[in-house]
Structure 1
Amino acid sequence: MTESEGTDEKSSGSKRKLNLVAFTGAAGLLGLAISLAIFAFTSHRGKSKKKGLPGCAVCVNLSPKEIIELADAIVAESTRVYDAVASVPLDRVSYENVVLPLAELEARQFPLIQSCMFPKMLAPEDTVRKTSAEVEQKIDAHILAWRKREDVYRAIKAYAARGELIAPEAKRYLQCLVKDFEHNGLDLTVTKREEVLRLRNEIDELSLQYVQNLNDDNSCLFFSEAELDGLPPELLESLDKTGNGEFKVTLESSHVAAILELCKIARTRRAVAMAYGKRCGDVNIAVLKKLVQSRHKLARLLGYANYANYALDRRMAKTSTKVIGFLEDISSSLTDLAIRELEILKDLKRKEEGEIPFGMEDLLYYIKRVEEQQFDLDFGDIRQHFPISLVLPGIFKISQDLFGLKIEEIAEIDVWHQDVRAFAVFDSGSGKLLGYFYLDMFTREGKFSHTCVVALQNNALFHNGTSQIPVSLLIAQFSKDVGGEPAPLGFSEVVSLFHEFGHVVQHICNRASFARFSGLHVDPDFVEIPSQVLENWCYESFTLKLMSGYRQDITKPLLDEVCKTLKRWRYSFSALKLLQEIFYCLFDQIIYSADDVNFLELIRSLHPKVMLGLPVLEGTNPASCFPRAAIGSEATCYSRIWSEVVAADIYASKFGDGDLNHYIGMQFRNKVLSPGGAKPALEILADFLGREPSTRAFIESRVKYSL
């Protein structure tokens, strides 16, 4: 998701121009945005006899030329607005000529920017995808440049200093604007600002180098067929073979995971686990050490004690101390259960292998073995109960019943591929249109390869009383059979689809007035919580039956016993699995909250402490092959566990019986989904729960369904 921003030389501040700014700061900006939307719409409308979504500025099926033209128009027109804001004399700044123009521009340009960018993920034509990717770089550079404009920052800061009484959401938006600039060092001296820029460039280079080293690693191992006993024939057939009949095993994560989970030979599992943990050895340790040091320097220049506190500043957790305390609390609360789980695995290993010490390389294999013994689940047969023609209407019904929605498919709409479908969402009580969403469900050549939700247009309310409604896009990767018909979904795919549709509901039910707080623009520690709450209904018998029916006889849903077993399987060895994740989260948090940490010493002391005495594999150093700590999730790896804990609390305390409680669902919609990022996340959750979130339900759910 990208916000609309701009850059150029500052305009002169003549009295004539000032008068123009006073007028165009709000009303004139509306004309600007409308002209952009009209440009985008008319540029592609003639290409198709089908219509676009009413009231939606998102454009589909743009040609490469049209994408470039639209991007140029976005940059040019937004630059004019930033120049106008910058030209306001500091003694004449007001909400109307500084804050409002930027807020409305951001809202109206967002769908136009997304029109340029989302084709890189989904357009059938390679030329369109390439042009979209190139334009994305141009727009991103434009955004970065305008956030470094000292003249715009001075105007914003001057207005903020007045301390005028404005609406809470407007005040929050103003605070975000100030932080946008100050995170780029605009409140620092020129010398320090240059150092911020140097450090950011250095951090980018080091992060990419760390990941590139892992991508370039071509380490491999060779094993005989006997040494790979337990692997499925189709996997063996996919491996290259040497002249002497050995199989070449690369250290691709898919191969490693399969061997650690399925291979019966302990020596093979250990060899693969050790090789995987040694990747990039000294070279990436040096890169990560430099990366951590540079991030600490950046954070301190910007006024933070360490990089972790900088990264957590806009999150629910706020401080590194709170994150570490949270992780240690979860770890200690699950220790007894994890010990019991580990003893089950050790007992089975002794029965099969004798008195050989249990190691980390045994964890996945013996979890899989115990699960096969404990759970009578045929996931191949379960798949046959989830044709997408039943799953999707089932998910729709659950969402509609819970949240008071009405979902209707839109026919004859302009789309970028024949498989794409579009839907309108209404409030079931008032009939008011709430938003739209697209579904692009099936794999195809050139398509983005991950399942996700993309915001295309955010909710926003404008100064003249008009508004725009949310539009979202759900991208999935489901397959079709040889006849071109949709293949039934595996259970994990059902859960994934339900999770992602939760983001669609979250986006469409958001009623924040500012686009900055609408859609999925919420606290990063909060953004996954609504979807994780909804995932729970994938494990309740009543709702599983709504989504299932045997492929050859759709009147036969999953059996009650299978539904109950799936719920127990969900929490199988959950304590041990979570402790392993907590180890990595603690490592990530510690290195970004303290100086000069010796990675290897930290790992050697932390691993057995968290993992019940199990040492890290000899010769390995996870710091060399832990990309989440290098780029993307640095100092924030804890966030998934954090949001799962809150989601478990919400479900247990409000929806714990598994019924589709419409009254509670509407409370969730109005109190949790509707505000979006317009209020602090903890305030939103406390309002809904009647208290601050607790870890109790998360712990109890794992203990309740333990083996």
Structure 2
Amino acid sequence: MATRVSHLAKGTVLNFIRSPAEIKTTVGAIIAQGKKVQDAVAAQSAPTFQNTIAPLARFENEHGTDWEVVQFLQNASTDKAVRDASSEAEQALSAFKIESMMRADVYRAVRSVFSNPAEVQQLSAEDRTLVEKLEKEFRRNGLALEEQQREKLGEIRKRLSELSIKFSRNISEGDGKALFTREELEGLSDDFFEGRATEIEDGITKFVVTTKYPDLVPVTTSAKREETRKRMSLVQETRCPENVGILQEAIKLRLEAAEMLGYKTHAEFVLDQNMAKTPETVLAFENDMRQRLNVLADHELKEIEEMKRADKKAAGEEYTGLYNWDFRYYTNQIKERKHNVSEEEIKQYFPMQEVTRGALDIYQRMLSLKFVKVENPESVWHPDVEMYEVWEASGENFVGHFYLDLYPREGKYNHACVCPIRSSSTTADGSTEFPVAVMLANFPKPTPSAPALLKHDDAVTLFHELGHVFHQICTKSKWAKFSLNDVQIDFVEAPSQMLENWCWEPKILRQFAAHYKTGEPIPDKLVEKMVAAKNEGAGLINLRQVFFSMYDMAIHNTTSADVDVEETYTKLREDITRFLGASQPTWGAATFGHMMGGYDAGYYGYMWSKVFSSDMYASRFLKDGVTNTSTGMDYRREILEPGSSRDAMINLEKFLGRKPTNTAFIKEIGLSA
């Protein structure tokens, strides 16, 4: 990858340095302009696409970027005042969006265009889709209801938006911590302790371990002492108690809103616009997967139980069962002991810089793009942030920008995600708005003696999230509305899940996995062991996904507003994952961010889309060759470029040349179809 800054690219660079006052001013300007556009649309005596639909969509084209930037900063800024201002901005903009979608006068104009066949039939396919989407959005927001009901629904939507923001903020800022001696952390590698903060407790110096992923995952995966794993699990599952009440209130409000719109449950309302369409389809899918996965889980549990019994006997301790805090540890132990696969050995071959370089090289070739790293980028929110230009492989046409913010810090969003900041669109004068995406992650930091080293799962996460980045970057649309944010939730993960497969291809791994000290490529035998161990625990691992999905449906596909969100969580988890919970009260649902982060009645989409991702990979990339650029371009053209301007099923069928099946996924995890 070259390093330069082009004049063309510089003209598209965004400014992420905003003061609280600037954020407030930007929000005011966006809302004022939005109301002006809506008033003009509502005043049309003879609504057409050009005087009604286009101005509404063009407002999003022109102001959507500032909208996203001021909301984004709460997840990344190092300045708490900016984060607070950003959070307030999100609340104000969310309230405005809700108000906008509740304007009956604007809906009448949109409905007039939608109901005029002569007007709609002359439009391009993309413009027709825009009309249909806008009309349906207004209708789903209650515009077909009487005025009193519309106002009530608007208040419900505003309150849900406020609750969602509070829930997410509580998780981001409500980290827990525990103190351990070195002996209590037996099993953790030396680099885990390098540079780690310490505190004095009872006259003893102990290491500080937080619930951020770079701490939580290694401890729950590698700590030999059960009591240590249990303590960390309890710290994690007793965070953010206030979120239980928030989720409980949200469940009640969502059901009330769904009933007002003529749906029996919130799940029925959500699924109406997804690929799955109905709760019955989702439940049939999940129950079928649960039944199939239990066949694998029976064998896996027997192995794990025997292993833990032996460990307890050797330690002179009583075996009392398998618990939640055993899950990561013993699924990892099976891999290490059965296949002699050591995560500590593996990560020596996955230095962060090399993995990132390798991943970007692979995506360049696959998608016929060229990435140019921008040295010392201006207007970014932290010195660690890396910025890249994206060009067509020929180097002649600019495509967009993306940013990588890969390491944890105080106040930052503490999982991994991609934020679509600017979406592809065409301006009123016919010029192009180039897309921008930001990847936030929390990978292990460098230590005084070693660079940042990734576990293989971390590398998989990197490939996955970059998949979302390039979905946003490669979308080509006249309207910003058809960006990554609008892709059907039960398909949006499929492209990224499909790209995880590259991390298991020996030929691909050798392109970037090299020992951080010697530079020697990862040994073939180690790769063979990793691939052999890939599906160890597939039954139990996927059953956890089934649990999250079934929990989601249990609290959202119900006609009772009194469903207990925490009791349901605890009961279903034990029943489905087959691991016991703690004897004392915990509230794991309080940090299940998806339930207040846009995945309500949609979590099933992870496994649902995984089926599609397996089909795409096996049917095209394995068949044609994982480095086949022609297949990569088909993928870019049929899966990524349309964004949400086409139904995801159309995209899939065009890429596959047929309807998708679950055969590849079932085979992939070691079951017979």
- Aligning the two structures, in what range does the TM-score lie when normalised by the shorter sequence? 0.7 to 0.9
Q: How far did residue 304 of structure 1 move?
A: 1.4
Structure-1 separation of matches of 2:246 and 2:70: 35
Residue aligning to 2:337: 373
Residue aligning to 2:654: 687
Deviations 1:495-548 (Å, cap 9, x if unpaired)?
222222222221221112221112443112222221211111112111111112
Residue aligning to 2:605: 639
- Indicate which of 642, 652, 660 corresponds to 1:675: 642
Residue aligning to 2:144: 187
Q: How far did residue 573 of structure 1 move?
A: 0.5
With normalisation by structure 2, the TM-score equals 0.82
Q: How far did residue 679 of structure 1 move?
A: 0.5
Q: How far did residue 56 of structure 1 move?
A: 2.4
Matched, 1:322 2:281: yes
Structure-2 separation of matches of 1:413 and 1:503: 22
Whether the 8 Å CA contact 2:91–2:165 is kept in 1: the answer is: no
- Compared with structure 1, are the counterparts of its residues 583 and 405 closer, same or farther at alpha carbon in structure 2 (3 Å cutoff)? same
Q: Which sits farther off after the overlay, 344-353 or 479-488? A: 479-488
Structure-2 separation of matches of 1:220 and 1:486: 25
Superposed, 1:237-252 pairs within 5 Å as: 243=202
Q: Which sits farther off after the overlay, 306-315 or 251-260? A: 251-260
SS in 2 for 1:525: coil
- Indicate which of 504, 513, 529 corresponds to 2:469: 504
Q: Which sits farther off after the overlay, 601-610 or 493-502? A: 601-610
Structure-1 separation of matches of 2:498 and 2:203: 53
Whether the 8 Å CA contact 1:278–1:624 is kept in 2: the answer is: no
Residue aligning to 2:12: 56
Residue aligning to 1:108: 62
Residue aligning to 1:402: 366
Deviations 1:145-183 (Å, cap 9, x if unpaired)?
322222222211222122331222222212222233333
SS in 2 for 1:669: helix
Superposed, 1:148-547 pairs within 5 Å as: 148-163=102-117, 164-165=120-121, 166-200=123-157, 203=160, 243=202, 261=221, 291-353=250-312, 356=319, 358-361=321-324, 362-410=326-374, 414-416=378-380, 419-428=384-393, 431-442=396-407, 448-462=413-427, 465-477=430-442, 481=446, 487-547=452-512
Whether the 8 Å CA contact 1:225–1:246 is kept in 2: the answer is: no
Structure-2 separation of matches of 1:117 and 1:154: 30
Which of the two has higher C-alpha Rg? Answer: 1
2:615 partner amino acid: D
With normalisation by structure 1, the TM-score equals 0.79
Q: How far did residue 693 of structure 1 move?
A: 2.5
Q: Which sits farther off after the overlay, 205-214 or 518-527? A: 205-214
Deviations 1:306-358 (Å, cap 9, x if unpaired)?
11111223322221111111111111222222111111112223434469463
1:96 partner amino acid: Q
Residue aligning to 2:30: 74
Q: How far did residue 690 of structure 1 move?
A: 2.4
Q: How far did residue 454 of structure 1 move?
A: 2.4
Deviations 1:93-126 (Å, cap 9, x if unpaired)?
1111000111122112122333444444445666
Matched, 1:648 2:614: yes
SS in 2 for 1:703: coil
- Compared with structure 1, are the counterparts of its residues 124 and 359 closer, same or farther at alpha carbon in structure 2 (3 Å cutoff)? closer
1:342 partner amino acid: L
Deviations 1:652-707 (Å, cap 9, x if unpaired)?
121226631112111111111111100011121122112332222222112179xx
Structure-2 separation of matches of 1:414 and 1:247: 40
- Compared with structure 1, are the counterparts of its residues 477 and 210 closer, same or farther at alpha carbon in structure 2 (3 Å cutoff)? closer
Structure 1 alignment gaps of length 5 or more: 1-48
Q: When the two structures are aligned, how many residues end up with a matched partner?
A: 652
Whether the 8 Å CA contact 1:629–1:635 is kept in 2: the answer is: no
2:114 partner amino acid: A
- Indicate which of 40, 55, 60 corresponds to 1:84: 40
SS in 1 for 2:420: strand
1:314 partner amino acid: Q
Identity among equivalent pairs (%):
29
Whether the 8 Å CA contact 1:330–1:695 is kept in 2: the answer is: no
Matched, 1:96 2:50: yes
Structure-2 separation of matches of 1:210 and 1:133: 12
Structure-1 separation of matches of 2:392 and 2:175: 54
- Compared with structure 1, are the counterparts of its residues 143 and 231 closer, same or farther at alpha carbon in structure 2 (3 Å cutoff)? same
Q: How far did residue 252 of structure 1 move?
A: 5.5
- Compared with structure 1, are the counterparts of its residues 85 and 58 closer, same or farther at alpha carbon in structure 2 (3 Å cutoff)? farther
SS in 2 for 1:53: helix
1:175 partner amino acid: E
- Compared with structure 1, are the counterparts of its residues 407 and 698 closer, same or farther at alpha carbon in structure 2 (3 Å cutoff)? same
- Compared with structure 1, are the counterparts of its residues 425 and 252 closer, same or farther at alpha carbon in structure 2 (3 Å cutoff)? closer
Whether the 8 Å CA contact 1:532–1:644 is kept in 2: the answer is: yes
- Indicate which of 631, 634, 648 corresponds to 1:664: 631
Whether the 8 Å CA contact 2:426–2:432 is kept in 1: the answer is: yes
Whether the 8 Å CA contact 1:50–1:413 is kept in 2: the answer is: no
Residue aligning to 1:591: 555
SS in 2 for 1:495: helix
SS in 2 for 1:455: strand
Structure 2 alignment gaps of length 5 or more: none
Whether the 8 Å CA contact 1:437–1:504 is kept in 2: the answer is: yes
- Compared with structure 1, are the counterparts of its residues 485 and 178 closer, same or farther at alpha carbon in structure 2 (3 Å cutoff)? farther
Q: Which sits farther off after the overlay, 51-60 or 296-305? A: 51-60
1:360 partner amino acid: Y
Structure-1 separation of matches of 2:231 and 2:26: 54
- Compared with structure 1, are the counterparts of its residues 470 and 208 closer, same or farther at alpha carbon in structure 2 (3 Å cutoff)? closer
Q: Which sits farther off after the overlay, 100-109 or 285-294? A: 285-294
Q: Which sits farther off after the overlay, 543-552 or 675-684? A: 543-552
SS in 2 for 1:551: coil
Whether the 8 Å CA contact 2:239–2:591 is kept in 1: the answer is: no
Residue aligning to 2:524: 560
Whether the 8 Å CA contact 1:459–1:519 is kept in 2: the answer is: no
Deviations 1:362-396 (Å, cap 9, x if unpaired)?
44443333233123334344333334443333222
Q: Which sits farther off after the overlay, 311-320 or 402-411? A: 402-411
Whether the 8 Å CA contact 2:168–2:593 is kept in 1: the answer is: no
Whether the 8 Å CA contact 1:210–1:287 is kept in 2: the answer is: yes
Q: How far did residue 564 of structure 1 move?
A: 2.1
Whether the 8 Å CA contact 2:184–2:225 is kept in 1: the answer is: yes
SS in 1 for 2:399: strand
Whether the 8 Å CA contact 1:316–1:681 is kept in 2: the answer is: yes
- Compared with structure 1, are the counterparts of its residues 515 and 57 closer, same or farther at alpha carbon in structure 2 (3 Å cutoff)? farther
- Compared with structure 1, are the counterparts of its residues 531 and 241 closer, same or farther at alpha carbon in structure 2 (3 Å cutoff)? same
2:61 partner amino acid: A
Structure-1 separation of matches of 2:112 and 2:187: 68
Structure-2 separation of matches of 1:399 and 1:134: 37
Whether the 8 Å CA contact 1:506–1:520 is kept in 2: the answer is: no
SS in 1 for 2:476: coil
